[in-house]
Structure 1
């Protein structure tokens, strides 16, 4: 139990993105693999061998969050505001026919303010103003997407 508490404290201090478990990977390591995967995926998409094809990616929650982080170029701070997907969770990105961009259609789980402040306290590098800006940006994006769904 004491070892687990030490691990949790270290992870909070370093951050979930950069902390590497013993004999494991950090979020940053997985992010690098996500980048390689995306390079391959985009090469396939750009080859015109699969025009207008739906793509299903099956993975775990961390990979899914890191995929979105990489795809939308979110900051580490923004990554830290998001919770993992539930078991068997899914995420939908839909292509906008007008500009070819991909719109996030899935509502993401955002950490509670209490959890975010707890992380902030344990990791002094996070600037409260930047964190609040990140949270407000996420909430605005989700609200905008939800408004589009209703329209």
Structure 2
């Protein structure tokens, strides 16, 4: 009976260290997917969604997408064309978390209305340190929320 990748603490530390070295976006868990794999599925989903939107099959409709946190973060990454580096700064959504994108009626763009949790700077720095000893506590810290950021229509317009 297999209870997941983190049942054996020795293997878990190795897995966590490998994930830190490779990065959360590119690391593929045993018997699972990497963020990059899910990103590809997000892209296919978005292509289908945009075809339906462009074909006026859903004019002025609200759309509800129900998914897990990784898919939600990768959806936003793909939609707003965020970099892998920016993805790595984002914490996962809480259980039953939600994200709202609101259409701007004037230009048709979508504004991110939900405040996203980001890792604190000290945690982002520690994640880059490959010599760090990964303990049970350091792995659990990965899900602790501390600060928030808010994006507007997209990163490019923000930098203008």
Distance in 2 of aligned mates of 1:3 and 1:106: 36
Distance in 2 of aligned mates of 1:117 and 1:42: 37
Count, aligned residues = 129
In structure 2, the partner of 1:110 is 118
1:53 to 45, 48, 61: 61
In structure 2, the partner of 1:64 is 72
SS in structure 2 at match of 1:109: strand
Q: Which runs of 5+ in 1 are unaligned?
A: 124-137, 146-151
Distance in 2 of aligned mates of 1:117 and 1:76: 16
In structure 2, the partner of 1:25 is 33
**1:51-90 per-position Cα deviation (integer Å, ceiling 9, x unaligned):** 1000000000000000000000000000000001000000
Tell me how large the CA RMSD over aligned residues is: 1.7
Question: Where does structure 1 differ by over 6 angstroms across 4 or more consecutive aligned residues?
Answer: none
Q: Which runs of 5+ in 2 are unaligned?
A: 1-8, 132-147, 154-160
More helix by share: 1
In structure 2, the partner of 1:135 is none
TM-score, length-normalised on structure 2?
Answer: 0.77
Cα separation, partners in 2 of 1:21 and 1:93, compared to 1, 3 Å: same
TM-score, length-normalised on structure 1?
Answer: 0.81
Retained in 1: the 8 A contact 2:91–2:118? yes
Alignment of 1:1-150 (within 5 A): 1-122=9-130, 139=149, 142=150
Distance in 1 of aligned mates of 2:59 and 2:83: 31
